[in-house]
Amino acid sequence: MGGVLLFAFAMSISMASAANINWQLVQTLNIPANTTTPTASMALLNGMQYKVSVEGTYLAGDNIQADAEYSFRTGSSTEWTDSVSTYETYGEELLDLYMDSDNDWGDYSTMHKYSKEITGAGNPLNFHIYDTYPSNNTGVLVVKIYSARYAEITAPNENSVNFGNVNLGAYLVDDDQDPVNWAVRRGTCAMATNNIIGNVDGMHDDYSWVNDSATYTQTFGATADTTSWLPGKYCFVFNPSEDGGESDIRLTREFYVITGKDDCKKDGWKTNFDSIFKNQGDCVSFVATNGKNLPANQ
């Protein structure tokens, strides 16, 4: 079994690059239609990513039904519109749901469901329905606020061929700190089998798990010494623990280990590495150049 050396990764984290995003419901608000007094959310963490959704319709009097941005007036409307039929002089913002100063909920939804993603600023959000005569209204709009929980494996590269020390890297973005389970398994990503290194199933190999409270990011790092491993396919499993109500995140990354030129011989270039190499010479060249000559089929 190869050893593991501590290895820290520096990286730029962005939601756009995340391989696995889970939205965790953190608050539900009922926004009454019969008052313009704002309904405040909890304070959103500064820099944390959130999704805000709103759904439902309410009655605004004079045969008018409205959702977060669009309305229909029985007797004069032929479709749902941003402006209120026969009340156009009041502006398109009439009967809109405001989130602070924002009342843009995008294109009309026949399901009356809208959402947008925002970045928390350390303050609550304030919601209200704008109307000049709110006392005529009945019903509520339901606002739900979700925080982002997502993760990504950053190393090694998918299906890469590696030898010597192999860097393992990943990160988790969450609104609280969570423990992490991890393992490298030979020939499979399945649970509790063919373990080589990790911190599960009785293994206690070294790793780093560093929390950055400013970005709500926990970064994983380890370096595996593969010099004594058998050649072939391996799987890095990254599984941050979830709190109650959080969705499970279990990511996997397959890669290959080669220990020397002998691993290329006797059709090893093909049987050990799933035909990533074109032939034995291609495999030997990869080893001889310390990986500079990449496999022809990679």
* Closest among 53, 76, 52, 51 to 63, alpha carbons compared: 76
Give the predicted TM-score (pTM) of the model.
0.74
Predicted pLDDT of residue 176: 87
Q: Cβ neighbours of residue 202 under 8 Å, at least 6 residues apart?
A: none
Q: Is the dihedral of CA 175, 181, 182, 188 positive or negative?
A: negative
Report which DSSP code applies to 241.
-
The answer on pLDDT for 12 being more than 70 is no
CA angle, corner 163, sides to 259 and 286, nearest 5?
80
Residue 277 identity (one-letter amino acid): F
pLDDT tens sequence across 155-210: 999 999 999 999 999 999 998 888 999 999 999 999 999 999 999 999 999 999 99
* pLDDT band at residue 245 using 50, 70 and 90 as cut-offs: low
- Domains belonging to the chain, first-starting first, are 4-18+151-288 (2.60.40.10), 34-138 (no CATH)
Give the mean pLDDT of the chain: 91
Cis omega (within 30 of 0) on the bond before 156?
yes
Largest CA distance in the chain: 84
Predicted pLDDT of residue 244: 65
